[in-house]
Structure 1
Amino acid sequence: MDNYQGCTDSALLALIAEGDELAFAEVYRRYKGVLFLHARRILGNDEEGKDVLQELFTTLWTRRTSIDLKTNLCAYLYASVRNRVFDIIAHRKVEARYIASLAAFIEQGEYVTDQQVQEKELRELIEQEIALLPPKMREVFELSRKEELSYKEIADQLHISDKTVKKQVNNALHILREKLDTVFTSMACFLFF
């Protein structure tokens, strides 16, 4: 088919199941905006909204031959976004409990050797991951987080724009969040389950 815009969602889904990339692109074009706004509105974060959308469409493509819709495509996509958003919110709650628990230990001075070792290992892991960032990104990130310089101060020092500094810091945080996500989850599970 040449005109994918005239296709129904079910026709597009059938074409996607056959590996038709143009049909997939049409579904993406139709739904990316509203799904992103839906995810961002609930999460309150553009980057997490983009991540949800990317994961959703990646899954749609990789599972295209095995998707068995019980409803229409639009409802399926919205439900998928909702489920991914709920996963993120649940993960945030686990992280918040972990951070609150760690803060309580610090305030009460109830460190035990195991916790000190875990905290040291976590700090070392974070430092290792920071060291693996691309050199310019690492420099900007360290000036922001370790030296506690403002974006403007970093921009002036490195002769780059504030926007570039902000983008580098956001990219670094995104990379670190992805790499440390499994560590936080396993530590939180250890503490709470």
Structure 2
Amino acid sequence: MTPENLQHEAWLLAIRELDDKEAFGKLYRCFWDGLYAHALRRIRDAQHAEDIVQELFIQFWEKRKRLDTQINLPGYLYGILKHKIIDFFNASKVKPQLLDFWAEDLYTFVQQHPEELETYLALEQLLSEELNKMPASMKQAILLKWDKFSIRDIANRLELSEQTVKNNISEGSKRLKHALLSRGIDGYNATLVFLAIQSIAAATS
């Protein structure tokens, strides 16, 4: 057993057997930042992410008498967090705006199939990576179009011709769709991938 695992076991034992708030505080400080960052990446709302992690630790303390001191503590905490994020999403606390361009039907599909939340987030990450590969002007044009700016407004903001903006949006949209088809279709729910492609087409038309 590693020194880290021994430390975790000691904290768990002290919390369960002695109601040791000092040990709980050390555990809290050790894992808070990572759990919060993980929640924030998925929920994209700082207050909600903080609330979820706070609730996680409150429930952890409340259930301390039933703790298994042999658990993999990081795996246990992140497993709880995963389910809390799914519950949060499925309880309609989240607006359909994890990515602003996702269409309502895509959001509804994931809400009705919470087991697909991980796929949704993976597709979100895939598209984010693809956006970051684009030239700056292309990425900015896509993002502004998703924010419902007109071609003229985008051209003025980026100091480009309207035709260049149209070309950038068209090419950027093709790249995103290609990324979904080439890397997403084999590993992910086909309905989700198809809805994502439809959403991109609708948002960039």
TM-score normalised over the length of structure 2: 0.41
TM-score normalised over the length of structure 1: 0.44
